[in-house]
Amino acid sequence: MSEVKFFYGGNVPLEMHKVRIVQKLDLVPIERRLEAIKEAGNNTFLLKNQDIYLDMLTDSGVNAMSDKQLAAMMESDDSYAGSASYTRLENKIKEIFGMEYFLPAHQGRACENIISQAYVKPGTIVPMNYHFTTTKAHITLNGGTVEELIIDEGLKTTSDYPFKGNMDVEKLRALIAKHGPEKIAFVRIETGTNLIGGQPHSLENMREVKKVCDEYGIMLVLDASLLADNLYFIKKREEACKDMSIREITRAIAELSDIIYFSARKLGCARGGGICTNNKDVYMKLRELVTLYEGFLTYGGMSIREIEAIAVGLEETMDENMINQGPQFIAYMCEKLKEHGIPVITPPGGLGCHLNAMEFVDHIPQSQYPAGALASALYLVSGVRGMERGTISEQRNEDGSEHFANTELLRLALPRRVFTLSQVEYAVDRIRWLYENRKLIGGLSFVEEPKVLRFFFGKLEPVSDWQTKLVEKFKADFGDSL
């Protein structure tokens, strides 16, 4: 996706790759989609792939891999200990992040488990720009509390602020002053802040946060799962970084981090994860937990093939023409929707286009899960699977009351290099139709509600017969079309 100018106008993102392996898709009729969403308890996590046309659930483990990644996987050195594949990844991590010690783990949340077990004690606090579902679960499981210190602008759904993922440094100082630095387990920055729409933080903000951490001797932990998108945004939006290479920006971020961990299901377009640090004490402490929970230190629960794919994928992430595909497709989709007055999170971020359900279905109260209802409705009218990122994704308060999310979003992830622009256009078309008919969408209520991470397995039902009515209107408007 380089900056290629179209002579006759039109701002179309242009792919800097070609597709040579394809997977067949089906679009099942709306009658089947109605059955399928019922079977899934109106939870898009529980839909089966055979019933899905465009899977925009997540960008996790479903990004397109390159020919070079697949080739590397064929050459992997499958051994329990001392694998050459592991050494290749370790060296790549050293080269890119400048970190001496690397610990492999099977995915991002495994890193969170290990780091939380090591550093989060009952009564401690973990300040962060914003939480991620699995991060918060691990911290609270270990008796800690999450404090979100995102800048006020970060929670505004529409904005032109370039770095909505920034941490409010004054709030961080106030929090440390209030509780004392010894209560702080570590400070966490999530790059490409997932739950507020894949919004980036700036390099400058990270420098300021690190300065405060250093003043009080607190560790700064970077969740680098969505680093690729954030690197692109820093390069594009941060004046002081416009002449830096992607590699230089990566190094600058790494130098400010005491620990970096990542989900390689996103970063590096493979599957797996890892933790790196320059601090030997940290390494020694975490190492024991890796062998206990993940596996021996030269595979850490990952397939050796994936280890090879991550090493190549990380190198490819240093190419601006690779990491800009996602953000540019997302910007294209968001602009198209905005043209028709459809409420989307702005500025467009990484990982996906986010519909603002609080506005899209403003007649549905938060207690009836507007984002979940919108996810169910969109699947019904399009076969597009999105993900609820709102109140259903939160945990109830300790007293059992509902913890209403700050924002109710339907995330439509665009896995990197996976969809074509005509597929994006199809999604836009169906979302437009749904917006015109939004008053037909009704709320949901739980029929089965697990205690932990309820958004994965919970089942819900519509509060009325709104789905049948929506299907009737669809058929009246679309006739025989799927």
Ligand X SMILES: *Cc1c(COP(=O)(O)O)cnc(C)c1O
Nearer to ligand X, 264 or 431 (CB): 264
Q: Is 44 a catalytic residue?
A: no
Q: What is the dihedral of CA 8, 12, 16, 22, to 10 degrees?
A: -120
> Shortest distance, CB of residue 110 to ligand X, whole angstroms?
7
Residues 394-428: b if buried by 16+ CB within 10 A, e if exposed: bbeeeeeeeeebbbbbbbbbbbbbbbeeebbebbb
Q: Which of 67, 80, 152, 477 is catalytic?
A: 80
User: Is 223 in the active site?
Assistant: yes
Residue 188 CB, shortest distance to ligand X, in Å, is 10
Residue whose token pair is 């074509």:
420
Q: Which is nearer to ligand X, 72 or 351 (CB)?
A: 351
Among candidates 108, 137, 66, which has minimal Cα distance to 300? 108
> Which residues have C-beta within 8 Å of that of residue 307, sequence separation ≥ 6?
76, 83, 85, 86, 88, 89, 104, 272, 299
- Of residues 272 and 443, the one with the C-beta less far from ligand X: 272
Distance CA 419, CA 422 (A): 8
CB of 201 to ligand X, least distance (A): 12
From the CB of residue 15, how many other CB atoms can be counted at a distance below 10 Å? Answer: 15
Return the number of the residue (135 or 467) whose C-beta is nearest ligand X: 135
Least distance (Å) from ligand X to the CB of residue 15? 24
We find the least distance from the C-beta atom of residue 128 to ligand X, in angstroms, to be: 10
- Residue placing its CB nearer to ligand X in the complex, 235 or 389: 389
Looking at beta carbons, which residue is closest to ligand X?
108
Query: Maximum Cα–Cα distance for the chain, whole Å?
Result: 66
Nearer to ligand X, 92 or 201 (CB): 201
- Residue 351: CB minimum distance to ligand X, A: 8
- The phi-psi region of residue 82 (left if phi > 0; otherwise alpha if psi is between -120 and 50; otherwise beta) is left
Q: What span, in angstroms and rounded, lies between the C-alpha atoms of 393 and 404?
A: 10
Ranges assigned E (strand) in 206-249: 220-223
Residue 455 annotated as catalytic: yes
Per annotation, catalytic residue among 53, 97, 132, 426? 132
Which bin fits 351, alpha (ψ -120 to 50), beta or left (φ > 0)? left
Q: Are 171 and 149 in contact (CB under 8 A)?
A: yes
Q: Which of 33, 266, 271, 336 is catalytic?
A: 266
450 vs 210: CA distance, rounded Å: 38
Two tokens, residue 199: 């919004």
| For ligand X, the closer CB: 386 or 443 | 386
Q: Is 266 a catalytic residue?
A: yes
List the catalytic residue out of 32, 38, 77, 133.
Answer: 133
Collapsed DSSP state (helix, strand, coil) of residue 161: coil
Distance CA 399, CA 402 (A): 9
Question: Under a CB-based contact definition with an 8 Å cutoff, are residues 374 and 430 in contact?
Answer: no
Query: What interhelical angle do 84-97 and 304-317 show, nearest 10?
Result: 20
CA–CA separation, 220 and 127 (whole Å): 10
389 is catalytic: yes
CB of 1 to ligand X, least distance (A): 22
In the bound state with ligand X, the residue whose beta carbon lies nearer, of 107 and 346, is 107
Nearer to ligand X, 265 or 417 (CB): 265
Task: Supply the minimum distance, in Å, between the C-beta of residue 102 and ligand X.
Answer: 17
Question: DSSP secondary-structure letter at 251?
Answer: H
Smallest separation (angstroms) from ligand X to the CB of 293: 13
User: Which positions touch ligand X (CB under 6 A)?
Assistant: 60, 107-109, 132, 134-135, 190, 194, 223, 225-226, 263, 265-266, 273
**Catalytic residue selected from 92, 235, 385, 389:** 389
CA distance 192 to 230: 5
477 is catalytic: no
Q: Which residues are catalytic?
A: 80, 132-133, 223, 266, 389, 455
